[in-house]
Structure 1
Amino acid sequence: MIAQDLESTAVRRDAGDLAKEGVVGVTIVWADNNGIPRSRTVPVDQFDAAVRRGVGVTPLFAVFDSHDQITFEHAPLGTPSGDIRLVPVHDRPVRLAGQPGFGWVPGRLTEADGSPWAYDPRGVLERQVARAADLGLRFLAGYEMEFQLTTGGHEDGDLPRPAFEGPSYGPAKLLAVDEFAGQLLSDLRENGIRVGQFHGEYGPGQFEFNIAPADPLAAADQQVLARQTVHAAARAHGLRASFAPLVTLGQVGNGWHLHTSVSRAGVNLLSGGNGPHGLTADGAAYLAGLLRDLPAVVAVTAPSQCSLQRLRPGFWSGAYAFWGVENREAALRLVPSTPLLGPDHANVELKPSDASGNPYLSLAVVIAAGVAGIEDGLTPPPAIQEDPGRWSECRRAELGVRRLPTTVAEQTEALLGNERIRNALGEELAGAFLTVRASDAAWAADRDATEVVRAHRWLY
């Protein structure tokens, strides 16, 4: 994966610049344990003060579930008392092209005295990036972002009406939303988000664009900013966008496929080696580490009730734990280097990843699993180039191919049973995360699948 020069392409403005451009408020954003962006907005003339002192928020945001219910079952956050600070990442403010009166900036959550807070997702990712750097490893990450555009059906109980129904992947699909598409590409560029391609996807009203690879923190920031950009462009054209893992029961879902590569001394470890498919020994170990910890990783990258309904065999969503070379049914898809694209292009795509996975935590557990694989010198099993969903149970068992968790109980077991992933999250955050998942499961217990999908439709 070839990194983009973010310093030369991204829009970096201080508060004075923003004010001169007509910005009146700066929105400070973080993502919670459901992958839902939360925010505070400060007047532009208060931005410098927010950088110095932060903005007060309740620590209970760490135990909000997907439906804004606060669970007090996680003992360290078991009361309504307390305060933390939301601090802007001061060198990353962006004037929102689609909302010209507002700026946008990612935030980190700290203790009231400014010290690190155990439940801060950005801090979790920063620790994993630093750990990898200590071993001489550098990561790049990029997202494919799928979403669906609708023209109606936005009331409770109504089925959304896709912006276009017809052949997948064709130019007519983009023609149906031509003005939106043009504004979106322009807004993404002005907001500093480099896009490799944009196209009509498989499902009704479904579209996709991919964000150019960047360092993990920038990649997570840009993923959160990109969804804000899409929602604003959709609103401007009388449309509504949904990134939910499933928008309508029975249809294809929306994944946010996460691509990563790892290098040492500027050399991509996923290409140029003597191993199978050009993998170096460390590149193969990285892939093996991801595969070893995949059930626990996916419990973080695709954690919601809606995620569980999306991860179905035969839907290219990665329902089984195996890897393959350019196999779109594989949970881990190796995209190898080619003479046309060059060695830096090689990367690993994680299919079971969606909007309900906090992007900072998702990248943190992917890095943790891969680095552990390198440290342990793991070797992956042979690549699988078929669809194991068409195999017998006996053949899957013979080749060690298992289904990824299909229930919250299985997700919880996978996470609790994996010390590497729990340690990457930190015991405090892991405890809050699992408490939120239990709250979501209790909410869904007496509801049918259709109601669960409908309730998630406009969360993302």
Structure 2
Amino acid sequence: MLDQATAGAPRQTGPDDLARDGVVGVTIVWADNNGIPRSRTVPTAQYAAAVERGVGVTPLFAVFDSHDGITFEHAPLGTPSGDIRLMPAGDRPVRLAGQPGFAWVPGRQVAADGSPWPYDQRTVLERQVARAAELGLGFLAGYEIEFHLSHAGDDGDDPRPVYAGPSYGPAKLLAVDAFAAQLLRDLDRNGVPVGQFHGEYGPGQFEFAIAPADPVTAADRQLLARQTVHAAARAHGLRASFAPLVAPGQIGNGWHLHTSVLRAGTNLLSGGDGPGGLTAAGAAYVAGLLRDLPAIVAVTAPSLSSLQRLRPGHWCGAYACWGVENREAALRLVPATPLLGPGHANVELKPSDAAANPYLALAAVIAAGLAGLADGLTLPAPVQEDPASWSSERRASHGVHRLPTSVDEQLAALLGNPRVRSALGEELTGAFRAVRLSDAARAAGRDAAEVIRSYRWLY
């Protein structure tokens, strides 16, 4: 991850400018507890009123499961009564390059009287960022986004990828040349700065990396990026899926989350005597992530499809360990180098995917890292091999264990972790738990392939 980049200026304009440019509606977007974007669109002429008073939505979006089922198992949201307001959270809307009739802005959910609402995911992240600032700390975050492309209308049991030849080569991009050109152009015009784009390992799989930014901006850009991909794919007769697994037996899609922690503008993950150049404070940050990793991953890879993606030997971080440039470690330290400079150092969380709400994912990571710093944690030695190749005895002796493999195990890790649970808040944690149990009940009796397919087009 490079130093913080300045985005190509998004086409941000006021309502009058939008109307003159032919924009007919502004879409206000947030992400639910399944990582699924939800939205309301207001006519451009009504946008100023929406900024002032918001748009009415049901509070039950907090207990929508992945397949739009509404669970009433979280008592505070146990009836269909009530209303909240969805407020535009950005200063100005972004005119969408791939959807010229519409503009886009992130949203924040507030109570009907305008007061804070405990289930608003964006507020959860803002709270952690504010905590860090009080301690003199700042964060940069960036995403690597993987997705699968197939031809529109190819909705069979397992859609055919657009290209199944050698990975990482120019021929793979040539197969989607016009789409790739529009995607890079649209991301730039929408203000999503991209470091690189390539054909990934899996059939029909591609990846791009979003340049780092402050955590809230990074989460906003993640939502805007997926909208941009879907629009570009549609324009070229393609269909994109960010689902953790698109088809049984294939490589999954990760949304690897990179973070770095700074004090007075100095990156704490470089310039020290520890492994990979870690300072003592940087090591404490990584140790905090490692200590709370099962609870973090319950938030960053929460779906049933996520659980199937987290397989040993697939570079997705199935074991709780850290390593320096070890792509099988759940936490991969990317150290600074003389070529890239100290600002490049970051830690990558590999068990992270599109089923994660980006605001909650970053809030969980920051909370765990801040606790590691506060407690002065130390790191064990890095793991530089594939822990799946070790015996169970060797893993145990190094404190390496498999991350949760079931919904029950994930929820036990989350509910039993006071740091991550406190960061989310009791109300939101309760809603999150209810949604996960609803998903599990829906999938009961289905085989693995059916579950994978049921998530394919949700993301």
Contact 2:198 2:206 in 1 (8 A): yes
Per the TM alignment, residue 20 of structure 1 is displaced from its structure 2 partner at its CA by 1.8
Aligned partner of residue 198 in structure 1, secondary structure: strand
Per the TM alignment, residue 90 of structure 1 is displaced from its structure 2 partner at its CA by 4.0
Per the TM alignment, residue 19 of structure 1 is displaced from its structure 2 partner at its CA by 1.5
**Aligned equivalents of 1:418 and 1:47: distance in 2?**
41
Quote the residue 1:2 is aligned against. Answer: 3
Aligned partner of residue 12 in structure 2, secondary structure: coil
Per the TM alignment, residue 14 of structure 1 is displaced from its structure 2 partner at its CA by 1.8
What residue identity is the alignment partner of 1:129?
Answer: V
Per the TM alignment, residue 153 of structure 1 is displaced from its structure 2 partner at its CA by 5.8
Any residues of structure 2 matched to 1:312-327 within 5 Å, and which? 312-327=311-326
Q: What is the TM-score with the length of structure 2 in the denominator?
A: 0.99
Per the TM alignment, residue 9 of structure 1 is displaced from its structure 2 partner at its CA by 3.1
What residue identity is the alignment partner of 1:232?
Answer: A
Query: Is 1:331 the equivalent of 2:330?
Result: yes
What residue identity is the alignment partner of 1:143?
Answer: Y
**Aligned equivalents of 2:391 and 2:278: distance in 1?**
30
Contact 2:26 2:102 in 1 (8 A): yes
Point out where structure 2 has 5 or more consecutive residues left out of the alignment. Answer: none
**Aligned equivalents of 2:348 and 2:315: distance in 1?**
12
Quote the residue 1:148 is aligned against. Answer: 148
Quote the residue 1:257 is aligned against. Answer: 256
**Aligned equivalents of 1:401 and 1:84: distance in 2?**
44
Contact 1:51 1:90 in 2 (8 A): no
Quote the residue 1:207 is aligned against. Answer: 206
**Aligned equivalents of 2:35 and 2:295: distance in 1?**
17
Contact 1:257 1:354 in 2 (8 A): yes
Query: Is 1:44 the equivalent of 2:36?
Result: no
Aligned partner of residue 168 in structure 1, secondary structure: coil
Per the TM alignment, residue 275 of structure 1 is displaced from its structure 2 partner at its CA by 2.2
Quote the residue 1:344 is aligned against. Answer: 343
**Aligned equivalents of 2:189 and 2:344: distance in 1?**
25
What residue identity is the alignment partner of 1:369?
Answer: A
Any residues of structure 2 matched to 1:138-287 within 5 Å, and which? 138-152=138-152, 154-155=154-155, 157-287=156-286
What residue identity is the alignment partner of 2:223?
Answer: V
Quote the residue 1:295 is aligned against. Answer: 294
**Deviation digits for residues 197-253 of structure 1 (CA, Å, limit 9, x no counterpart):** 000000000000000000000000000000000000000000000000000011100
Q: What is the TM-score with the length of structure 1 in the denominator?
A: 0.98
**Aligned equivalents of 1:266 and 1:233: distance in 2?**
37
Identity between Structure 1 and Structure 2 (%): 76
Contact 2:149 2:240 in 1 (8 A): yes
What residue identity is the alignment partner of 2:227?
Answer: Q
* Structure 1 residues 153 and 386: alpha-carbon distance in aligned structure 2, compared to 1, 3 A threshold: farther
**Aligned equivalents of 2:249 and 2:29: distance in 1?**
33
**Aligned equivalents of 2:138 and 2:117: distance in 1?**
25
Report which stretch shifted further, 316-325 or 266-275.
266-275
Contact 1:201 1:207 in 2 (8 A): yes
**Aligned equivalents of 1:253 and 1:115: distance in 2?**
40
Contact 2:26 2:47 in 1 (8 A): yes
Query: Is 1:410 the equivalent of 2:412?
Result: no
Per the TM alignment, residue 11 of structure 1 is displaced from its structure 2 partner at its CA by 3.4
Q: How many pairs were matched up?
A: 458
Aligned partner of residue 430 in structure 2, secondary structure: helix
Contact 1:257 1:352 in 2 (8 A): yes
Contact 1:196 1:212 in 2 (8 A): yes
* Structure 1 residues 353 and 92: alpha-carbon distance in aligned structure 2, compared to 1, 3 A threshold: farther
**Aligned equivalents of 1:152 and 1:98: distance in 2?**
17
**Aligned equivalents of 2:14 and 2:380: distance in 1?**
50
Contact 1:122 1:360 in 2 (8 A): yes
What residue identity is the alignment partner of 1:204?
Answer: P
**Aligned equivalents of 1:231 and 1:152: distance in 2?**
11
Aligned partner of residue 230 in structure 1, secondary structure: helix
**Deviation digits for residues 332-365 of structure 1 (CA, Å, limit 9, x no counterpart):** 0000000000000000000000000000000000
Contact 1:55 1:86 in 2 (8 A): yes
* Structure 1 residues 92 and 322: alpha-carbon distance in aligned structure 2, compared to 1, 3 A threshold: farther
Contact 2:6 2:193 in 1 (8 A): no
